[in-house]
């Protein structure tokens, strides 16, 4: 997957952080262009459950006023990077196969395997 680095959020309520580029009107991003085609809200990933980004920055993260900083890596990270969502056995490989794409109404557009309820052979993930 590609990594999005530049965000252009619409005039939302209270954006805790603002890139030094606030133009008078409309959104002028420091990026070359990008132009999200539509206005706000777009989905990443070519499949997988609704991971629709709408543009919201979280974690106000009150900084300043530190009393101590005596530790490098402690509390956080309870379990080592074990495979929690993988290799458990059958974890529903990211889906968007012929069926969900074309729908029941257009069953004749599915790949043969899908029509016979077998492993899809067109979208092999």
Partner DNA sequence: GATGCCGGGTT
Partner DNA sequence: AACCCGGCATC
Q: Applying CB under 7 A, which residues contact DNA?
A: 49, 88-93, 95-100, 103-104, 112-120
Is there binding between residue 122 and Zn ion (CB under 5 A)? yes
**What is the distance, to the nearest Å, from the Cα of residue 115 to the centroid of all Cα atoms in its chain?**
31
To Zn ion, the closest distance from the beta carbon of 113 in angstroms equals 5
To Zn ion, the closest distance from the beta carbon of 94 in angstroms equals 14
CA angle centred on 115, ends 110 and 117, rounded to 5°: 125
**What is the distance, to the nearest Å, from the Cα of residue 105 to the centroid of all Cα atoms in its chain?**
29
Which of these ranges, 3-11, 40-48, 70-78, 114-122, lies near Zn ion under the rule CB under 5 A?
114-122
Q: CB under 5 to 8 A by kind: which of DNA, Zn ion, none does 122 bind?
A: Zn ion
Query: What is the token pair recorded at 68?
Result: 């101590």
């Amino acid at each position: 997957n590609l990594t999005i680095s530049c965000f252009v959020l619409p005039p939302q309520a209270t954006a805790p952080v603002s890139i030094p580029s606030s133009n008078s009107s409309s959104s002028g991003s420091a990026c070359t262009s990008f132009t999200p085609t539509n206005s706000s809200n777009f989905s990443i990933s070519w499949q997988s459950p609704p991971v629709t980004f709408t543009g919201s920055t979280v974690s106000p993260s009150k900084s300043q006023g530190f009393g101590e900083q005596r530790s490098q890596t402690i509390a956080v990270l309870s379990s080592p990077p074990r495979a929690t969502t993988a290799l458990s056995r059958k974890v529903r490989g990211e889906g968007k196969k012929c069926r969900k794409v074309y729908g029941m109404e257009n069953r004749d557009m599915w790949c043969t395997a899908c029509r016979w309820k077998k492993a899809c052979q067109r979208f092999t993930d």
